[in-house]
Amino acid sequence: MIGTGDGHRTVCWDIPRDPTVLGDVRGKVRRALGDWKFTDGGELTDDVVLATSEVLSNAVLYGLPPIQLTLCMSDHDVLAEVTDHGAGRPRRQVADDDAEHGRGLTIVEAVCDEWGVMPAPDGSAKTVWFRKSCSG
């Protein structure tokens, strides 16, 4: 975990392309937010953990390694970035009531203040990111 003089805190994890690690990663994100005193009664923490899980699930299931999760916190917000080296860009889908998949980015959009996708300049990777305000 990295802390900077300006109050920003950052942690980065390399994530294997293995869906069985997602539960462990959710725990790591929750612990990091707790270590950073991101305590709010749980709702903001739950939103960040949920959004991270959704974005990371897409990378693990559809992207290519290396996959990296970076979590940063300032006095004002939390920023999460998931980078993978797979082709294509994730897109929000419209899922019917019976669908088992296809709601991830809709969930991210609902619980976060903003999100987006940044392709690498050379097209070799992409980063899906979201921002959640600490003030709720």
CATH code for the domain of 65 = 3.30.565.10
Banded model confidence at residue 54, pLDDT cuts 50, 70, 90 = very high
* Domain membership of residue 116 as a residue range: 2-133
Tell me the mean pLDDT in the region 44-55.
Answer: 94
Lowest-confidence region among 28-32, 95-99, 101-105: 95-99
How many structural domains are present in the chain? 1
Q: What's the Rg (C-alpha) of the chain?
A: 15
Neighbours of 49 (CB within 10 A): 20
What pLDDT does 75 receive? 85
106 neighbors 52 (Cβ within 8 angstroms): no
Rounded to 5°, angle at Cα 123 from 119 and 129: 20
Q: Which amino acid is at 116?
A: G
Phi and psi at 125, nearest 5°, equal -155, 175
Tens of pLDDT, residues 107-131: 999 999 999 999 999 988 999 999 9
Mean pLDDT across the stretch 43-57? 93
